[in-house]
């Protein structure tokens, strides 16, 4: 995969929730799915796993409250290492969700549009900002 398609994503082709995974919804196909949603809740943390847990919890509570198609998007942190590179199946297919960027959403523009902090990381010492999104019909 050339750098132009890969971009700067260090997990391209290494994760079941990546658009590069076999059978994954491609960002240009996601537009139809996303068009059914009217509202969203953007979650900001400094920890990927916390961001994902919060988004799952909100999605679950929304379902119970009658939002049957609530949909959470978050960078996946369910496993320390994804099974995709070794050819194994996803360990948590019922919980795995794509990240916003995998659905064609510009995370930088979304966060900045809400006045939230997000920058490219100059080096590993920079504090990361993690975002998840839960959509409601």
Where along the chain do its domains lie?
27-136
DSSP code of residue 88: P
* Strand 71-73 versus strand 39-45 pairing type: unpaired
| C-alpha to C-alpha distance for 19 and 98, rounded to whole angstroms | 8
| Confidence at residue 7, expressed as pLDDT on a 0 to 100 scale | 53
3 state DSSP class of 93: coil
Please determine, for residue 34, whether its predicted confidence score (pLDDT) is greater than 80: yes
In order of 74, 86, 92, 93, 131, the CA distances from 89 in angstroms are 19, 9, 9, 8, 26
Q: What is the DSSP letter of 46?
A: S
Residue scoring higher pLDDT (127 or 111): 111
Task: Read off the pTM.
Answer: 0.82
Percent of the chain with pLDDT over 90: 37
Biggest CA-to-CA distance, the chain = 45
If you average pLDDT over every residue of the chain, what do you get?
86
Cα separation, 103 vs 98, whole angstroms: 7
The mean per-residue pLDDT over the stretch 9-23 comes to 81
| pLDDT in the model for residue 120 | 80
* Residue pair 111/128 in contact by the 8 Å Cβ criterion: no
């Amino acid at each position: 995969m050339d750098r132009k398609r890969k971009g700067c994503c260090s997990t391209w082709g290494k994760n079941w929730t990546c658009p590069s995974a076999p059978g994954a919804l491609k960002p240009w196909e996601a537009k139809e799915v996303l068009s059914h949603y009217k509202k969203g809740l953007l979650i900001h943390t400094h920890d990927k796993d916390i961001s994902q847990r919060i988004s799952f919890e909100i999605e679950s509570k929304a379902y119970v409250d009658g939002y049957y198609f609530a949909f959470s998007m978050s960078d996946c942190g369910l496993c320390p290492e994804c099974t995709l590179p070794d050819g194994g199946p996803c360990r948590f297919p019922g919980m795995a969700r794509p990240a916003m960027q995998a659905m064609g959403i510009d995370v930088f523009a979304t966060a900045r549009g809400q006045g939230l902090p997000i920058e490219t990381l100059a080096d590993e010492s920079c504090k990361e900002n993690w975002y998840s999104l839960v959509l409601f019909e």
